[in-house]
């Protein structure tokens, strides 16, 4: 087999692999998360349980983002897409997510964390120094 053939096969295989990415399950989409934050996801669970799931997911992302931002005190350069300075209230974080989702309906089918991260990073940027 020639080098050209190997390169072509590799490119074709990688293209095929890119097309076979698993689809996001409905329970994990940004739209579902948005509905859960309001307690309006029609899956039979109580609205309070749905709101708790939303809160826990957002709180987990907040913790990661704050630690990433604090890493600059130790000489690291924080990953810009995962930055948050001071922890906002959970209500403020939820509202930032809701606002971001309403402004970006094209991402409603994406995995929920792919919307929470930019929403919080934009609303609560890492402070310099």
Output the 3-class SS for 24-50: CCHHHEHHHHHHHHCCCCCCCCCHHHH
Contact present, 38 and 52 (Cβ < 8 Å): no
Rg of the chain in Å (alpha carbons)? 19
Predicted local confidence at residue 81, as pLDDT: 62
Structure tokens at 35: 């509905």
pLDDT of 44 strictly over 90: no
pLDDT of 78 strictly over 80: no
User: 20 pLDDT band (50/70/90 cuts)?
Assistant: low
110 or 13, higher pLDDT: 110
On average, the pLDDT of the chain sits at 78
User: 25 pLDDT band (50/70/90 cuts)?
Assistant: confident
Whole-number Å distance between alpha carbons of 65 and 48: 26
Whole-number Å distance between alpha carbons of 101 and 115: 7
Residues in the chain: 129
């Amino acid at each position: 087999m020639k080098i050209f053939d190997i390169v072509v096969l590799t490119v074709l295989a990688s293209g095929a692999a890119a097309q076979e990415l698993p689809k996001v399950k409905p329970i994990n989409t940004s739209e579902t998360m948005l509905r859960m934050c309001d307690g309006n996801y029609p899956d039979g669970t109580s609205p309070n349980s749905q709101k708790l799931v939303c809160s826990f997911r957002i709180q987990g992302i907040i913790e990661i983002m704050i630690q990433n931002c604090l890493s600059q005190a130790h000489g690291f350069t924080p990953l810009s897409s995962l930055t948050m300075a001071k922890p906002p209230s959970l209500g403020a974080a939820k509202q930032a997510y809701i606002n971001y989702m309403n402004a970006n309906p094209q991402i409603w089918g994406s995995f929920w964390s792919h919307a929470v991260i930019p929403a919080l990073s934009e609303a609560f940027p890492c402070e310099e120094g």
